[in-house]
Amino acid sequence: MSLYVEGLSKRAPNGGMTEFQEVMRQQLEKSMHKELDKLLSTGKGDAVQISRRDFEGFQKLFHRFLQVKGPSVDWAKIHRPPEDSIQPYEKIKAKGLPDNIADSLNKLVVVKLNGGLGTSMGCKGPKSLISVRNENTFLDLTVQQIEHLNKTYNADVPLVLMNSFNTDEDTKKILQKYTHHRVKIHTFNQSRYPRINKESLLPVAKDLGTTGENAEAWYPPGHGDIYNSFYNSGLLDQLIAEGKEYIFVSNIDNLGATVDLYILNHLMSQPNGKRCEFIMEVTDKTRADVKGGTLTQYDGKLRLLEIAQVPKAHVDEFKSVTKFKIFNTNNLWISLPAIKRLQEQNAMDMEIIVNPKTLDGGLNVVQLETAVGAAIKSFDNALGINVPRSRFLPVKTTSDLLLVMSNLYSLDAGSLTMSKKREFPTTPHVKLGSSFTKVHDYLTRFESIPDMLELDHLTVSGDVTFGKQVSLKGTVIIIANHGDRIDIPAGAVLENKIVSGNLRILDH
């Protein structure tokens, strides 16, 4: 990184800052303060007030960033969590449900992280507005799920969307269509932080605007910002005043993250002194999840360990499926009064994620971010629950989209469940090539979504199209060489086949 940070990272023998480093840090903070004031002077009205509050949060993060020395964990202190700190879901479910589960539902709020754009899938606007199943978007499915709960149990579970400055306007326009649904919907905005030049460590923004040369100057600082933004919005206090006690937080693109009544009941049935303030849903790692954050025991507390925090010498150990068997799904159940207490005590402790980016013009910048699950160590009686894989069904790519659009899943009241006709519960491994990356291109390449009930593995590469009612079974690999095109004919059944070149079909 910059010479400044290199200079700050060389510590005094006692691990603290040298006198010179302390002077350097103070100068950097002073320069940052001055630049942020300059930016505020370019704005008008409410925008200035909102930015001032955002900048306060940013300065706290920047202050901590300048004080961090090397990797934020001491590998020798990392231990596997004690047996009772991660409960199997089956044990939670075995308790059954009380008759008055509706009382518990009335104390719950569903929060969806809705700050992301659909750019990685070639779509404009919020990712939550991409159609994923029968013309239903991620947001449609979320509303249907909660409405179904509210009607079934005569309950009042509201939906809260954490938007970013990238998604807020488009999301609010679309919310009008849910006016007559039985779900109260609230929104609040994530902070907007300035990207900083990798060398000077000063903001690259010229003013508070988000267009023109400033379009790339800002970023939403990761979902760890939820605590600060939720508190600052006033919505946290409003929901507590309405008698709400817990939030269920998840990514809006995780179609497996539905309200689980057994986990909710477990939370609500704890004796007062032992009330669990934070539950993280984890699930067993497969080879595809080796980079996912894991739960560890550190200084006597449960702690989320992300790959970015791992010293280079231990990355392979971190990825091992034998030592770290589980990963964080980012489905979290968190106590509202606890969030309020920790915010007011300024005691929310989350590691800083330093995310380097290169802007379109080639400028190297840094984003300082935090992750929502990293705060687990700040909460009392935190717990992990090892849930079935079905609660982790994220749609990050068109390969994921193909799975959830197929007959592998059935849709009921906004929830997707694995079809009973599939003989084994694992999802197939699907890898679509670059011709399928954008949703529009992907849709034009399938006349209809193939039957995938008996599929184990699908790899498609190059210029390939699928006719109607194609059936894929076992392992299917389709590779069109550069300049060739492969059209899989309507009604074709491919079972354990390799298709290459100009539609030569071989047994696999």
212 has pLDDT over 90: no
Confirm if 113 and 226 have CB atoms less than 8 A apart: yes
219 has pLDDT over 70: yes
Supply the pLDDT for residue 503. Answer: 60
Please provide the size of the chain in residues.
Answer: 508
Buried b (16+ CB within 10 A) or exposed e, 223-243: bbbbbbbbbbbebbeebeeee
Supply the pLDDT for residue 59. Answer: 95
Supply the pLDDT for residue 429. Answer: 93
Nearest 5°: CA angle at 458, between 455 and 462?
150
Query: Residue 154 — left, alpha, or beta (φ > 0 → left; ψ -120 to 50 → alpha)?
Result: left
Active site residue 396: yes
pTM of the model: 0.92
pLDDT band at 312 (very low <50, low <70, confident <90, very high): confident
Tens digits of per-residue pLDDT, 96-108?
999 999 999 999 9
Helix and strand element counts for the chain (H, E): 14, 26
Q: In what order do the strands lie in the sheet with 326-335?
A: 86-88, 383-386, 278-284, 326-335, 246-251, 108-114, 159-163, 185-189
The residue ranges of DSSP E strands in 169-273, in sequence order, are 185-189, 193-194, 196-197, 218-219, 246-251
State the CB neighbour count (10 A cutoff) for residue 432: 22
Annotated catalytic residue, options 396, 431, 468, 497: 396
Tens digits of per-residue pLDDT, 395-454?
999 999 999 999 999 999 999 999 999 988 789 999 999 999 999 999 999 999 999 999
Among 340, 151, 348, smallest CA distance to 245 is for: 340
| Token pair listed for 181 | 């649904």
pLDDT band at 306 (very low <50, low <70, confident <90, very high): confident
More confident site: 48 or 287: 48
Tens digits of per-residue pLDDT, 178-202?
999 999 999 999 999 999 999 999 9
pLDDT band at 508 (very low <50, low <70, confident <90, very high): low
| Token pair listed for 34 | 């001055």
161 has pLDDT over 60: yes
> How far apart are alpha carbons 373 and 303 in whole angstroms?
9
Supply the pLDDT for residue 82. Answer: 87
Supply the pLDDT for residue 140. Answer: 97
Supply the pLDDT for residue 215. Answer: 83
Q: Is beta strand 131-133 parallel, antiparallel or unpaired with respect to 108-114? A: unpaired
7 has pLDDT over 60: no
Supply the pLDDT for residue 73. Answer: 77
Tens digits of per-residue pLDDT, 256-273?
999 999 999 999 988 767
